A = this chain, B = another copy of it.
Amino acid sequence: MNVKQLRAFVTVARTLSFAEAANILHLSQPTLSLTIKNLEDLLGGRLLSRTTRTIALTPEGDALLPIAKQLLAQWDNAEEEIHQRFSLKKGKIAIAAMPSFAASLLPEGLLNYHQKYPKIKVEIHDVLADTVVDMVRQGRLEIGISFDPGNNDDLNFKPLMKDRFIAVLPKDHPLRTAKNISWKILLEHDFITLQRPSSVRQLIEETLEQHNLTLSVAYDAHQLATVGRMVATGLGVAVVPALCEQQMQEQGAYCLPVIEPTIARDIGIITRSRTQLSTAAIAMIDVLIRTFEKRVN
């Protein structure tokens, strides 16, 4: 039994005419005759009692009709459902992004995506950079935004932009008029930064060590927002990704480029290699690239 046969039966049952049904189905009358006959043979008896003048449903046909209608409706729904998913009119996509990106640029990308594919739901996981990588690796979601996880067989990294690190100073700090500030000077002040598992903290420590600079941390916190507020309050200075510049300024802190050394890292899209991405994910990646490509903070 196939869909064509069932559709033919329902149409004949509705029109009570082979000729008219054949028209509707874009078939010739003989073909329709045969189709119905095949269906009847398959099911083991007549569904339609037909003379040249009158078509009527047999009791079995009567029983099949509502079932067939429902079946066809569900069939079409299923097809439409998947079709919509593929054509991005529907569906859901999950993204993990490191907090600095999630809270700064990501919304702009999401806005572009939503304008293009308004029916797709997007779920954002703003978690630590390492967690982003883990979540993608475990297949918990399709797209991660973080910095380059390094050579990795099962992960792909597509760079989006460079993220410099910037110094954050209280607004009334004497150095705020300078064009930039060196680490050496910066480290003479009380230093506020993120707590250890953070990638920002790690990167700062590693880089300073390479340049034989010593970091003494006065305060550390979990969230950049806290750091920003602490700096604004005058507790000390900090170094954060440029991505957070706007956030820092909004909290009343002042941002300056930090040099000697300049710290920068690639931020990009992480996906699993060897795994087919959903069309929604492919579209999301496309939008993100268009939005952020070659942008340097």
Where the two chains meet, the residues of A that have a C-beta atom closer than 8 Å to any C-beta of B are 1-4, 43-46, 48-49, 51, 54, 56, 58-60, 63-64, 67-68, 71, 74-75, 78-79, 81-83, 85-87, 91, 142, 274-281
Contact = CB atoms under 8 A, between A and B. Distances in A.
Given A82-B43, A83-B43, A276-B56, A1 B3 contact: yes
A43 B81 CA distance: 9
Contacts of A85: 45, 59-60, 63
Contacts of A56: 275-276
A162 to B, nearest CB: 31
Given A51-B274, A78-B64, A59 B91 contact: yes
A44 B279 CA distance: 10
Given A46-B276, A59-B142, A1 B79 contact: yes
Contact of A279 (B2, B60, B75, B142): B60
B44 A86 contact: yes
Contacts of A280: 59
Contacts of A278: 58-60
Contact of A86 (B3, B49, B60): B60
